[in-house]
Structure 1
Amino acid sequence: MRAVRIHQYGGTDTLQLEQIDTPKINADDILIKVKAAAINPVDWKIREGYLQEFIPYLLPVTLGWDVAGIVTAVGAQVTEFKVGDEVFSRPDISRDGSYADYISVKADEAVLKSAKLDFAQAAALPLAGITAWQCLVDVGQLSAGQRVLIHAGAGGVGHLAIQIAKAQGATVIATASTANQDLLTQLGADQAVDYTKAPLNEQIEPVDLILDTMGGKVQEQSWALLKKGGMLVSVADQPSEEVAKAHGVKAAFVFIEPSSRILRELNTLVEANQLTPLIEHRFPLEQIAEAHLQSQTGRTRGKIVIEVS
């Protein structure tokens, strides 16, 4: 089968499209024929070597940890799936990924794909959707009537977070550049904020919860936007507990794990027409380097999908 692997850390020239053996499955695995995968920043951060101390791979490794496809084999212990099922997953990041014709994943990391999603949309949903849900619902405990600020609302996590927050009954404020203001409104944001026009504290009234996907200066500016007792949840930089305490608020950092529970929640929102993944760019597997470069610009609206087969 075809697979995009890296044999060393570095730039896009390390991405090698190769012919390798189809992965074997364990008793609790399913084998998925990959129809579509998606690009996430963690992919090129791993490729560059930024996470090698955190995730010590034995190279070579196949990248990509969003997948949608068709089950072609099931392990001896698997009872919830059968050959021919259409599934999607955010699989274990320590195993070989989805830039390939086939991927082996644990059965409990996958769920049946909603019929309302095509394979590209389904591949766009898992990692970013789990991230948004875990930050807003599991950690942030977002509830109806609360005010939530979502930074980078046009991005991969942000555009899903807006829709999830609206489904929870929250009032949603989202930031983006001038070019993406209309998109924020289309996604359901109650207030679209252009961060290039004026300081955020001049545009935003205090909120109960902030989803920080940016870190750095954006995180620093966010503390003053929280109500007393509010919470900042970041997926970018570990927030300071001391700074949070000084502002009378809470803070949390989230690095997600696979979650079929959350994938089923996302499916429910899709079925209710409350959640639709946005795909701006589609690339064939042969153009994986171009896909990584697009992701590294940080200016993609929604998601980047790899159409494998």
Structure 2
Amino acid sequence: MTKTMRAALITHYRQAVPVIQRVPLPTPNANDVLVQIKAASINPIDLKTMAGGLKFLLPYQMPLIIGSDFAGTVVAVGTHVTDFQVGDAVYGRPRKHRIGTFAEYLAVDQADIALKPRNLSFTEAAAIPLVGLTSYQALHDLLRLRPGQRVLIQAGAGGIGTVAIQLAKTLGAKVTTTTSQKNTAFVQSLGADKVIDYHHEDFATTLSGYDAVFDTLGGPNLLRAFQIVKPGGRVVSISGLPDAKFARSYGLPWWKRQLIRLASHRLTQTAKRAHVSYHFLFMKPSHAQLTILTDLIAQERLRPIIDRTFPLTELPEALAYSHQGHARGKIVVTMV
């Protein structure tokens, strides 16, 4: 008899509410571990995936189990797995074509996970992988922040922002962030040196001479970011348009690369006129970088910020709350 599990599925893009139903357990490949998921967090990419906003870059076959990061316990290992064993508590972000963490079990490549930080619960650990890896790759790999440099991190009270502020401080940067007045003290407690109340202040006219901007908003906010970065500086966005160099590196077909080049022309020209480099970031799973985050958590230099938790049965309510865009930190879904 086939073993089954509960999972949250969509059968088509723009489906308003995912359906929770029983499906067969995944079968791990040789390099996979099978994880019993204890908790998973909601990320903007989940909302974009459901809405079909990423299908140009990342088309999925339906039905699709949604969810992009997790924490749980290893219950089986593939024949080529050497770094993990049954019983290990792990966390991670599966690669993009193997998402599906809003479920009771997940088969995931061993290269995409790490041992869970011992000083975090499963719920706390589930709030880290996607936002932690995204922030690390933006701040360390692309922006190449060095001690004393000034960086603007947009939306400091959000899921990405709360982690990015902390990581930027571990790199020695001077951090400015945008948030509402009610969150000023909160983002300062995370390490923000300067806070812009976006309701009453325009960062583009207030700030200047910055080394870097980590944009999490896209649109006009991204275009205005180039006004505050000094020549030779860098802008990284996870919400803006991909550019031509990203399209080449991502291995897209020629016609998609051409469409991206045309769509991003204004953005590319804005960066060129400002003498600033622009990078679009599509985060990649990384065991090595998760281990770095684990060490920072163990040293209490990085901590997860959780706004609310919901059981899997209330996932539609959790997604609706996330869609409002007012969460302070992460929203976590528990499988128990």
Q: In structure 1, what residue type is equivalent to 2:31?
A: D
Whether contact under 8 Å (1:12, 1:292) holds in the other structure is no
Residue 202 of structure 1 and its aligned partner are, at CA, apart by 4.2
Count the aligned residue pairs. Answer: 308
Q: What TM-score, normalized to structure 1?
A: 0.97
1:266-277 correspondence to structure 2 within 5 Å: 266-277=293-304
* 1:221 CA displacement: 1.7
Does residue 109 in structure 1 map to residue 112 in structure 2?
A: yes
- After superposing on structure 2, the runs of 4+ consecutive aligned residues of structure 1 that deviate more than 6 Å are none
Q: Is the 8 A contact 2:71 2:92 kept in 1?
A: yes
C-alpha distance in 2 between matches for 1:99 and 1:231: 35
Letter in 2 for 1:9: Y
Residue 255 of structure 1: which of 282, 285, 295 is its match? Answer: 282
Q: Is 1:68–2:71 an aligned residue pair?
A: yes
State which of 6, 9, 20 in structure 1 corresponds to 2:10. 6
SS of the residue aligned with 1:131? helix
Q: Could you say what secondary structure the match of 1:173 adopts?
A: strand
Q: Structure 1: how far apart are the matches of 2:97 and 2:268?
A: 29
Whole-angstrom distance in 2 between the partners of 1:193 and 1:235: 20
SS in structure 2 of the partner of residue 224 of structure 1: coil
Q: 1:96 to 1:143 in 2, by over 3 A?
A: closer
AA of the residue aligned to 2:53: Y
Q: Is the 8 A contact 2:208 2:230 kept in 1?
A: no
2:192 is equivalent to residue 189 of structure 1? yes
CA contact (8 A) 1:64 1:99 kept: yes
1:5 counterpart letter in structure 2: L
Cα pair 1:153 1:175 within 8 Å, conserved: yes
Which residue of 167, 170, 178 corresponds with 1:164? 167
Q: Which residue does 1:221 correspond to in 2?
A: 224
Q: Which residue of 1 aligns with 2:247?
A: none
Alignment counterpart, residue 121 of structure 1, candidates 99, 114, 124: 124
1:130 aligns with 2:110: no
Aligned partner letter, 1:257? K
Q: Give the conservation status (yes or no) of the 8 Å contact 1:3–1:18.
A: yes
| Corresponding residue SS for 1:124 | coil
Aligned twin of 2:201: 198
Q: TM-score, normalised by structure 2?
A: 0.89
Structure 2 unaligned residues grouped into runs of 5+: 244-266
CA distance in 2, matches of 1:267, 1:80: 16
Question: 1:8 & 1:171 partners in 2: Cα distance?
Answer: 44
Determine helix, strand or coil for the equivalent of 2:90.
Answer: strand
Report % sequence identity: 40
The correspondence for 2:316, drawn from 285, 289, 292, is: 289
Shift of 1:96: 4.3
Structure 1 unaligned runs (5+)? none
2:37 to 27, 34, 37: 34
2:315 aligns to what SS in structure 1?
Answer: helix
Match status 1:177 vs 2:180: yes
Tell me by how many angstroms 1:271 deviates.
1.1
Q: Which residue in the other structure is 1:94 paired with?
A: 97
String of CA shifts for 1:98-123, please: whole Å, max 9, x gaps: 11110000011110011111111111
User: What residue identity is the alignment partner of 1:293?
Assistant: A
The amino acid that maps onto 1:3 is: A
Within 1, Cα distance between the matches of 2:103 and 2:191? 35
Cα contact 2:157–2:329 (8 A) shared by 1: yes
Q: Is the 8 A contact 2:95 2:285 kept in 1?
A: yes
